[in-house]
């Protein structure tokens, strides 16, 4: 019990204070229907959960994020590994990564809708776009951070180039890849909400937009809180996996 | 025919500003099969450079390095390397998995490579640490894993780059003793690099003394006619120590003067 408290106590107090301050602010500071207190939002959340609205929108957004995020990571990893390992590949691809990563995915929404329509394809394209460059850059940085002696040791132990890639470069780069994915996940949230705000039939972003359109302020807040909680949960998962792997999979030890 | 010969080897590094540094020049040396050869020189004289070229990590700028009469063209499993630091160990593998890495790359069946790796872990006194990760082990233990890792791979020769330099004095003395015992049992050819005269006289059958850089080369080679366990307080040991010291002291002074 005491141990549990020392680990999670801070969180509990932190979160509780967040809700207390929110409550005080909305009741005493700006007492207006435009800023509902947490209890009202929670009640509305339960209602939306019961009638399925929240679940539908949540799963629509989550599905888009996951599909685009996984596709972007799976594509970005080998590209990053290749760019980090082979100088010609890096020189060839750097113009693409260096150019495109400065065009924010939000700016690509219009193009995505024109190309892929208002449906799933445009959202998944945008999430892939927002994921892939961060994963590429982090993976490539991870490869260049490998201690040269790790590669040399493998060479003089008789490993082939392919084996070095698979058994040395890849595991040594894993913490960097995970860090890249973690950053990409945070960006995916921004992108999906922006995309759904502009062009979508469902999703947490659409919920925000509808809330504005029909003056459903409580719905807006339910969507916001859901985004916050979802992001927090996903990020914890990443932090946990980085933490468990990083001890072992560290480029320096 | 010697196992290894360096013939007029030269290595020039070019800095980013385009300035050339001639690390070694006219470096010639023969190493016989089965011997324990110590290469001794002041810090920065080019010892690691020589080792890297023989390991095949870097090509000489001029001259040639022969092994078994054939020029060295790249890294190969007949020349295993024990590195100075611990950054060559694989942090994501346990001690025993590190030791069996070379065998796994050669697709030795799992049971056999486990057994062989265990034997070498045993030889370096780490039987109980087999399942630990490098980060959980001390500096001395990590160097032992490196030694077990190269021995398990059964190379023709061992290249060791100041493997004990970062250890505390007591651990270093112990490791030197263990290495001497292992070498007595295995009789693998060893090129052992050190800047420590005491270490060279303790371990080497022959000691090659290098000049201070730039354009370093071999100043002379001392045959150490001591066998078995060596005693630091022994008169002959001290005589060798003095002889080597006389050869290297000017070089150390030159190295310090150059870097000042
Ligand atoms: N990659 C490199 N680039 C440029 N100079 C180098 C490089 N490696 C070593 N040197 C220089 O060559 C000289 C010999 O280095 P090294 O072989 O590491 O010496 P030692 O191992 O005897 O201490 C040093 O002056 C060092 O600065
Ligand atoms: Mg050195």
Mind listing the pLDDT tens digit for each residue in A19-28? 999 999 998 9
pLDDT of residue A252: 45
Ligand nearest to the CA of B216: 1
Min CA distance, B122 vs chain A (Å)? Answer: 20
Nearest to B156 by CA among B1, B3, B2, B45: B3
Chains A & B: contacts with CB separation below 8 Å: 85
Cβ neighbours of B87 in A, within 8 Å: 147, 149-150, 252-253
Shortest-distance atom of ligand 1 to CA B13: 4
User: pLDDT tens, B43-54?
Assistant: 889 999 999 999
Q: Indicate whether B108 and B19 sit together in one domain.
A: no
pLDDT of residue A247: 58
Residue B84 lies in a domain: no
Q: Indicate whether B129 and B16 sit together in one domain.
A: no
Of the two residues B32 and A240, the one the predictor is more confident about is B32
**Pairwise CB contact (< 8 Å): B105 & A253:** no
Q: Indicate whether B161 and B240 sit together in one domain.
A: yes
Q: What is the strand order of the sheet B20-31 is part of?
A: B20-31, B4-14, B62-67, B70-71
Q: Is A34 helix (H, G, I), strand (E, B) or coil?
A: coil
Q: Which residues contact A40 (CB under 8 A, 6 or more apart)?
A: A218
Cβ neighbours of B79 in A, within 8 Å: 156
Section A35-59 average pLDDT? 93
Section A231-239 average pLDDT? 88
- Considering the entire predicted model, what is its pTM? 0.83
Instruction: Work out the pLDDT band at B259, boundaries 50, 70, 90.
Output: confident
Which pair of structure tokens corresponds to residue B259?
Answer: 């870097």
Residue B218 lies in a domain: yes
Q: Indicate whether B67 and B183 sit together in one domain.
A: yes
Q: How many helices (H) and strands (E) does chain A have?
A: 11, 0
Residues 92-131, chain B, touching A (beta carbon < 8 A): 92, 101-102, 104-106
**Pairwise CB contact (< 8 Å): B87 & A247:** no
Section A174-200 average pLDDT? 91
pLDDT of residue A4: 84
Which pair of structure tokens corresponds to residue B12?
Answer: 């020039």
CA distance B247 to B101: 41
Section A99-118 average pLDDT? 92
pLDDT of residue A246: 63
Residue B192 lies in a domain: yes
**Pairwise CB contact (< 8 Å): A157 & B102:** yes
Q: Indicate whether B98 and B224 sit together in one domain.
A: no
Mean pLDDT of chain A: 90
Q: Which of B32-46, B135-149, B201-215, B244-258 has the lowest mean pLDDT?
A: B244-258
Q: Which residues sit with their C-beta closer than 6 Å to ligand 1? A: B 13, 21, 23, 41, 43-49, 213
User: pLDDT tens, B141-157?
Assistant: 999 999 999 999 999 99
Inter-helix orientation angle A2-24/A38-50, to 10°: 100
CB A77 within 8 A of CB A169: no
Instruction: Work out the pLDDT band at A238, boundaries 50, 70, 90.
Output: confident
Nearest to B111 by CA among A14, B119, B45: B119
Instruction: Work out the pLDDT band at A2, boundaries 50, 70, 90.
Output: confident
Residue B127 lies in a domain: yes
Section A122-128 average pLDDT? 95
Section B2-10 average pLDDT? 95
- Chosen domain end from B154, B179, B197: B154
Ligand nearest to the CA of B47: 1
Q: State the ipTM, two decimals.
A: 0.91
Cβ neighbours of A168 in B, within 8 Å: 90
Section A68-72 average pLDDT? 96
**Pairwise CB contact (< 8 Å): A158 & B90:** no
Q: Indicate whether B69 and B190 sit together in one domain.
A: yes
DSSP state of A51: T
**Pairwise CB contact (< 8 Å): A150 & B55:** no
Q: Indicate whether B127 and B183 sit together in one domain.
A: no
CA distance A46 to A51: 9
Alpha-carbon dihedral B194, B82, B76, A175, rounded to 10 degrees: -130
Section A215-229 average pLDDT? 93
pLDDT of residue A248: 61
Q: Which residues contact A41 (CB under 8 A, 6 or more apart)?
A: A218, A221, A222, A225
pLDDT of residue A251: 46
Residue B231 has pLDDT above 90, yes or no: no
Q: Indicate whether B213 and B240 sit together in one domain.
A: yes
pLDDT of residue A11: 83
Show the domain range for B98.
Answer: 90-154
Probe site for chain A from B88, B108, B136, B162 (most A CB atoms < 10 A): B88
Section B190-215 average pLDDT? 94
pLDDT of residue A253: 41
Tell me which residue has its CA closest to atom 26 in ligand 1: B44
Question: How many structural domains comprise chain B?
Answer: 2
Residue B130 has pLDDT above 50, yes or no: yes
Cβ neighbours of A158 in B, within 8 Å: 76-77, 102, 105-106, 153
Residue B85 lies in a domain: no
- Chosen domain end from B137, B154, B171: B154
Section B3-32 average pLDDT? 94
Section B76-105 average pLDDT? 95
pLDDT of residue A6: 85
Which pair of structure tokens corresponds to residue B117?
Answer: 């790796």
Asked: is A36-248 a CATH 1.10.238.10 domain? The reply is no
Q: Indicate whether B46 and B32 sit together in one domain.
A: yes
Nearest to B128 by CA among B149, B144, B139: B144
Min CA distance, A160 vs chain B (Å)? Answer: 8
Tell me which residue has its CA closest to atom 11 in ligand 1: B23
Residue B224 has pLDDT above 80, yes or no: yes
Which pair of structure tokens corresponds to residue A86?
Answer: 């082979």
Q: What are phi and psi of A139, to 5 degrees?
A: -65, -45
Nearest to A203 by CA among A108, A63, A41: A63
């Amino acid at each position: 019990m005491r141990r549990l408290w020392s680990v999670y106590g801070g969180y509990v107090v932190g979160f509780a204070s967040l809700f207390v301050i929110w409550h005080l602010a909305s009741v005493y500071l700006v007492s207006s229907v435009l800023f509902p207190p947490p209890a009202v939002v929670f009640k509305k959340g339960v209602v939306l959960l019961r009638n399925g609205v929240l679940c539908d929108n949540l799963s629509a957004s989550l599905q888009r994020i996951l599909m685009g995020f996984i596709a972007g990571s799976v594509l970005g990893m080998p590209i990053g590994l290749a760019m980090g390992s082979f100088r010609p590949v890096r020189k060839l691809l750097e113009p693409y990564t260096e150019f495109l990563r400065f065009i924010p995915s939000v700016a690509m929404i219009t193009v995505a809708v024109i190309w892929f329509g208002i449906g799933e394809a445009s959202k998944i394209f945008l999430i892939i776009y927002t994921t892939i460059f961060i994963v590429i850059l982090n993976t490539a940085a991870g490869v260049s951070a490998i201690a040269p002696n790790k590669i040399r040791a493998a060479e003089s132990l008789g490993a082939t180039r392919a084996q070095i890639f698979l058994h040395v470069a890849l595991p040594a780069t894993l913490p960097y890849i995970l860090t890249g994915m973690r950053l990409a996940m945070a960006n995916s949230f921004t992108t999906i909400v922006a995309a759904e705000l502009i062009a979508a039939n469902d999703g947490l972003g659409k919920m925000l937009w509808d809330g504005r359109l029909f003056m459903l302020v409580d719905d807006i807040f339910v969507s916001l809180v859901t985004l916050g909680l979802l992001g927090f949960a996903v990020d914890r998962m990443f932090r946990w996996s980085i933490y468990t792997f990083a001890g072992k999979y560290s480029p320096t030890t | 025919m010697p196992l290894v010969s360096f013939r007029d080897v030269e290595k020039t590094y070019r800095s980013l500003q385009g300035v050339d540094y001639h690390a070694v020049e006219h470096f010639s040396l023969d190493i016989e099969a089965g011997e324990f050869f110590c290469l001794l020189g002041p810090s920065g004289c080019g010892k690691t450079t020589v080792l890297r070229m023989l390991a095949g990590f870097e090509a000489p700028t001029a001259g040639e390095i022969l092994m078994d009469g054939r020029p060295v063209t790249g890294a190969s499993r007949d020349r295993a390397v024990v590195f100075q630091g611990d950054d060559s160990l694989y942090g994501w593998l346990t001690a025993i998995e590190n030791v069996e890495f070379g065998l796994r790359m050669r697709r030795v069946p799992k049971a056999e490579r486990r057994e062989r790796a265990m034997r070498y872990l045993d030889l370096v006194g780490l039987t109980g640490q087999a399942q630990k990760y490098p980060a959980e082990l001390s500096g001395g233990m990590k160097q032992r894993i490196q030694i077990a890792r190269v021995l398990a791979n059964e190379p023709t020769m061992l290249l060791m780059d100041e493997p004990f330099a970062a250890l505390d004095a007591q651990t270093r003395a112990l490791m030197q003793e263990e290495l001497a015992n292992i070498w007595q049992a295995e009789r693998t050819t060893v090129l052992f690099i050190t800047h420590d005269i005491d270490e060279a006289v303790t371990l080497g059958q022959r000691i090659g003394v290098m000049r201070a850089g730039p354009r370093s080369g071999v100043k002379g080679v001392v045959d150490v006619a001591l066998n078995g366990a060596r005693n630091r307080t022994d008169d002959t040991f001290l005589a060798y120590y003095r002889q080597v010291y006389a050869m290297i002291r000017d070089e150390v002074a030159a190295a310090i003067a150059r870097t000042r």
